[in-house]
Structure 1
Amino acid sequence: MDIFSGLTIGASLLYFIPPMLLLPVVMVICVAIYRALFGKILPTKVYNFLMGPIALLGFFIWAIPMDMGFYEFFRAMF
């Protein structure tokens, strides 16, 4: 009798962890590129106002490949 047969949720979420770790990395890279290109050029209020949309752009850069099947790569890996 296998009493632990219902505890497979940990193994099924293992392929979900690498994309979630990749999300903040992509967002930080987008913000770093934005800072390098426009940090000294834009006024402070405009620079700070556009920081949120740039982070959102990083989310979309991450989400589109995940929707196109990059998520399946992580799923096949584990």
Structure 2
Amino acid sequence: MFLGELFGKNKEPKKANEYFEKAISLAQKARWAKRAVKGQTAATKPKRTMPSAARQKIAAAQKARWAAWKAKQKKAA
């Protein structure tokens, strides 16, 4: 079915609108049914927070890596 035929003089745009609404509705139902089958829910996972001690350890390790890199660059130059 062509869009030009749907909205011609003798065609009824209302029927075309109902057809498209039904197609969209079926597509949405199929999408949500597929999601339910996979066992996924709309709920989000709780945010994983990191203790400040862990962040400090990571920061110290990163600073040590940068210091080593800078020392290597200085030595090469």
TM band (smaller chain): 0.3 to 0.5
TM-score, structure 1 as length reference: 0.37
TM-score, structure 2 as length reference: 0.37
Task: Say which structure, 1 or 2, has more relative contact order (CA 8 Å, 6+ apart).
Answer: 1
Q: Could you say which structure has the larger radius of gyration?
A: 2
Higher helix share: 1
